[in-house]
Structure 1
Amino acid sequence: MNKIAIQKPNIPENLQTADFHDAVTQDDVISMHLFEDCTICGEDIERLCVEKTVFRNVVFIDVSFRHIELTDVIFEKCDLSNADFSGAVIHRTSVKQSKMVGMNVAEATLRNVSFEECHGHFSSFSYSNMKQVRFDHCACALMQSECSNTVLQQTHFDGCELEGASFTGTSLQNMDISTCRFEQLHVSLDKLKGCKIAPEHAIAFARALGAVIV
């Protein structure tokens, strides 16, 4: 499997550790900060702009950052469960070893984004546009999640759990999901031409075609 080349976040050295409230400017911009070993709770900021920033071991509780803009950002060992990032624009961003259960990234634009060893039951990427995006060894990256009516260009899934995920209305043509795990996948049959799967996936696709396995 040929991996997609992803531009890494451009993060300066010696970032300044900050409190979230102190770091947000009057224009709702956060730039060149390190947030570490803390909790961000109850924040509701639309069109927040975050750049050249690292979140490390941060827990997000009841946060809504609709239409957030993330450029050159790293989330490492964070808990983003149920965070609302709908309508986001995300570029050169890395999410590592983080929890994304129920995270809402619907109607977002993702470019040069990587998700590594993340957990994300019930997350939503529906109606998003992804290009040069990687999901690597995400044990539950898209399990029971929504990826419906999504544009996937140069998007790579390697060793991910896709059980019960919905890709209805989404083209998987010429994509390689052969290293992923699933017994049931919700797909649009007219958008599967050239999709590469493993032999054990054939039963799931046969069921999608209406075949009865005996």
Structure 2
Amino acid sequence: MKIDTPIIPEDLTEKKFTDIFYEEDPEFEMCLVTDSQFENESIERLRLYQTVIKNCNFVNTDFSRIDLTDVRFENCDLSNANLGNASMNRVEFLNCKLLGSNLTESYIGNTKFGESILNMGMFGNSKLEKVIFDHSVLESADLFDCKLKKVEFLLCNLNGVSFEDTSLKGIDISSSNFDSLVVSIENLRGCKVSTSQAVQFASLLGLKIQR
């Protein structure tokens, strides 16, 4: 599946993330932000546009209603950050930690999570459209009542993920691995799985497979 990647110009203005407090509105446009410590802070309705964020720490920071367009996060820690009610389009999280992060009630479009840790991440009541999880770990993540459209999980760890009240029709999880998933049989209809995963689901149903 092809998704739209961030459109970011080469000529970016270097900033520290704390510079956001000196902006008239809480927004960065065409910026390069590196090596910033911004944990335990709170900024509502932050807007980032055509910006690259590298090697930054946002642990426990409240970014509720954040608006991200054409943004790349590299080697950032957003563990336990609040990204609830976010709007994301053409965004990449590369080698990032989003351990326990809150992304509930968000729109996430044309977004890639590459080689990232999303254990216990919360996506409940969100719409994910054209999203790729690539070589990422989502152990015990919660995707309750999500709308998934053109979403791929490529070589991910999905152990313990909850897809309660979320349809997996057309979603490909065949290259990923898990010991258990929380998902109802009706919501598995149309999901693309591997042969070994089909055996796992059959055993959860109590079927005895003769070899």
TM above 0.5, yes or no, is: yes
Q: Shorter-chain TM-score: what band?
A: over 0.9
List structure 1 segments (4+ residues) > 3 angstroms apart after TM superposition: 210-213
Amino acid at match of 1:171: S
Residue deviations 1:61-91 (CA, integer Å, cap 9, x gap): 2200101000010000111111110010001
Q: Match of 1:202, SS?
A: helix
Amino acid at match of 2:129: K
The counterpart of 2:64, out of the listed 63, 66, 82, is 66
Q: CA deviation at 1:26?
A: 2.0
Residue deviations 1:93-114 (CA, integer Å, cap 9, x gap): 0010111111111110011101
Q: 1:17 maps to which residue? A: 14
Q: 186-195 or 91-100, which moves further after superposition?
A: 186-195
Residue deviations 1:41-76 (CA, integer Å, cap 9, x gap): 222111111111111111112200101000010000
State yes or no: 1:88 paired with 2:86. yes
Could you tell me how far apart the structure 2 residues matched to 1:92 and 1:200 are? 34
Which runs of 5 or more structure 1 residues have no equivalent in the other structure? none
- Contact 2:16–2:34 (Cα < 8 Å) also in 1: no
Q: 1:49 maps to which residue? A: 47
Q: CA deviation at 1:14?
A: 2.4
- Contact 1:126–1:150 (Cα < 8 Å) also in 2: yes
Could you tell me how far apart the structure 2 residues matched to 1:204 and 1:186 are? 13
For normalisation by structure 1, the TM-score amounts to 0.92
Could you tell me how far apart the structure 2 residues matched to 1:54 and 1:208 are? 44
Q: CA deviation at 1:190?
A: 1.0
Q: 2:26 maps to which residue? A: 28
Amino acid at match of 1:55: I
Q: Match of 1:166, SS?
A: coil
Could you tell me how far apart the structure 2 residues matched to 1:171 and 1:126 are? 13
What is the identity percentage for the equivalent residue pairs of Structure 1 and Structure 2? Answer: 38
Q: How does 1:85-124 map to 2 (within 5 A)?
A: 85-124=83-122
For normalisation by structure 2, the TM-score amounts to 0.93
State yes or no: 1:167 paired with 2:163. yes
- Contact 2:27–2:47 (Cα < 8 Å) also in 1: yes
Could you tell me how far apart the structure 2 residues matched to 1:79 and 1:47 are? 20
Could you tell me how far apart the structure 2 residues matched to 1:12 and 1:211 are? 55
**Residues 210 and 126 of structure 1: CA distance in aligned 2, closer, same or farther (over 3 Å):** farther
- Contact 2:150–2:170 (Cα < 8 Å) also in 1: no
Q: 2:191 maps to which residue? A: 195
Could you tell me how far apart the structure 1 residues matched to 2:167 and 2:119 are? 21
Residue deviations 1:155-193 (CA, integer Å, cap 9, x gap): 111100000000010000122111000110000211211
Could you tell me how far apart the structure 2 residues matched to 1:34 and 1:86 are? 24
Q: 187-196 or 176-185, which moves further after superposition?
A: 187-196
Could you tell me how far apart the structure 2 residues matched to 1:131 and 1:27 are? 29
Could you tell me how far apart the structure 2 residues matched to 1:184 and 1:34 are? 40
Could you tell me how far apart the structure 2 residues matched to 1:110 and 1:80 are? 16
Q: CA deviation at 1:202?
A: 2.7
